[in-house]
Amino acid sequence: MALTPARTMPGVLELLPLDQIAFQRMLDVIRRNYERFGFLPVETPVIEYSDVLLTKTGGETERQVYFVQSTGALDKADEGTPELALRFDLTVPLARYVAEHERDLSFPFRRYQMQKVYRGERAQRGRFREFYQCDIDVIGKDALSVRYDAEIPAVIYSVFRELDIGPFIIQLNNRKLMRGYFESLGIVDGDQQMLVLREVDKLDKRGADYVRDTLTGAAFGLSAEVAQKILAFVQVRSTSLQDAFDKLDALGAGPEAMEQGRAELKEVLGLIHAFGVPQTHYALNLSIARGLDYYTGMVYETTLNDHPQIGSICSGGRYENLAGQYTKSHLPGVGISIGLTRLYWQLHDAGLIDTAKSTVDVLVTQMDEAQLPAYLALASELRGAGIATEVVLEGGKLGRQFKYADRAGIRFVVVLGEDELTRGVVTVKDLRREDQFEVARSELVKTLRVELEQAAAMG
């Protein structure tokens, strides 16, 4: 029989076990922190009805959707859009979930969701067709205090501090402030404001001159003075909490939207401080607009200080109404998303993530086949104490067994030969410290637990 080449499609991240362990640890840290802030888990099906999924989305997203058909449905082809599709984010399923289960949920509804999403991206390095999103959202019924917008940066801070991937800054802006400021400059039309924002978004890539030329060019026709004011506005960054307040005040009075945005930003900034986020870890950045049109108030991006090229590692904001396409209820919300697959890949690419140590703590070697029951009893005891233990069942040379442990990233190798059995001891080889010690059989569990707890405490 001809062999089928074993391969996966481009755009998926499939990891070897030790890398998967490193990835899983990041997922665990994120989940733990989400739960600590009182967010509840939700999982939704990967497959949704196409009409449910595609109510709101524009052409761009629609072209990237994966449609799904069972074998039976394929026979009835050419009947337009298939009935089913894979979710392309977690926000649309959240909207559907909240609308569907509204009566069974308590509001404000705080949920986290960490699942994979699917996009038919062009195959290209660093673009993923399947990737994890790790989202939190707080959904209010009718209204939701801006105080929840201040809690979000506290969660971000908590997550990335524990992920321990280097210093980071949570950058804050407010859409109302931006729109109000544009209004004060005579750019009143909402669509026109969006177009200006889109140009401004190119500042980092194209530079100030390019953006100024575009804004004063035929497409926009803004005066040099207005263009200059816009550029000055979007270049505002704060260096401390007080500096943020000062810079917001220095913008001068403006129309209602601008005053609202400023008030929201001030309240959020004050509360972030009360939430215990240090001033080194958040800043005003009036260039942050976020591509998505549905953000209406606060917006967030988070960047790594030492790796700006990675871009935002956690983004989100406030939206006016989550599920208007499914329900008449008014459901404002605020949330963020961490695209973990891309983040992991980038950190790994930049050499910032090591391959993890194994989840296996101990390998019990097989020195003497006849003593297998003793090895199994020892392993049961270790496992009972919560120590992940593998037993060599097949035997073979001890040197090969050590080599296996080393290659597999297992730290402790336990040897129990005739000599040890007679003397009631166990020999432990610590492959990390390249050390070896003997311990009484009855003390083994305690000794290894102490070692492993110390190692865990030290990260």
- Binding residues for L-histidine, as ranges, are 89-91, 119, 133, 137, 290, 294-295
Shortest distance (Å) from residue 57 CB to a second copy: 11
Q: Which two tokens stand for residue 429?
A: 């080889």
Q: Which residue number, 271 or 289, has a Cβ lying nearer to a second copy?
A: 271
Sites for a second copy among residues 64-103 (CB under 8 A): 64-74, 77-78, 82, 84, 86, 95-97, 99-101
Shortest distance (Å) from residue 162 CB to a second copy: 11
Sites for a second copy among residues 257-276 (CB under 8 A): 271, 274-276
Indicate the SS3 state at residue 216. helix
Give yes or no for residue 289 binding a second copy (CB under 8 A). Answer: no
- In this chain, which stretch among 255-263, 306-314, 355-363, 437-445 interacts with a second copy, using CB under 8 A? 355-363
Q: Which residue number, 152 or 200, has a Cβ lying nearer to a second copy?
A: 152
Give yes or no for residue 232 binding a second copy (CB under 8 A). Answer: no
Longest dimension (CA), the chain: 92
Give yes or no for residue 400 binding a second copy (CB under 8 A). Answer: no
CB neighbours of residue 9 within 10 Å: 8
Q: For residues 427 and 3, give the distance between their C-alpha atoms in angstroms, rounded to a whole number.
A: 46
394: exposed, middle or buried (Cβ count in 10 Å: 0-12, 13-18, 19+): exposed
Contacts for 392-399: CB closer than 8 Å, 24+ residues apart: 392/363, 392/364, 392/365, 392/366, 393/366, 394/366, 395/366, 395/369, 396/366, 398/365, 398/367
Sites for a second copy among residues 109-128 (CB under 8 A): 110-111, 116, 118, 120
Give yes or no for residue 320 binding a second copy (CB under 8 A). Answer: no
The residues pairing with 137 across neighbouring beta strands, listed in sequence order, are: 111, 335
Nearest CA to 93 out of 59, 116, 76 is that of 116
Task: Identify whether the C-beta of residue 180 lies closer than 8 Å to the C-beta of residue 257.
Answer: yes
Give yes or no for residue 328 binding a second copy (CB under 8 A). Answer: yes
CB neighbours of residue 264 within 10 Å: 20
Q: Which residue number, 82 or 417, has a Cβ lying nearer to a second copy?
A: 82
Q: For residues 162 and 31, give the distance between their C-alpha atoms in angstroms, rounded to a whole number.
A: 11
Q: Which residue number, 81 or 436, has a Cβ lying nearer to a second copy?
A: 81
Sites for a second copy among residues 139-168 (CB under 8 A): 140, 144-145, 147-148, 151, 154, 158
Would you give the binding string for a second copy spanning residues 408-447, x where CB under 8 A is met?
A: x---------------------------------------
- In this chain, which stretch among 197-205, 207-215, 292-300, 357-365 interacts with a second copy, using CB under 8 A? 357-365
Shortest distance (Å) from residue 167 CB to a second copy: 20
Q: For residues 45 and 86, give the distance between their C-alpha atoms in angstroms, rounded to a whole number.
A: 9
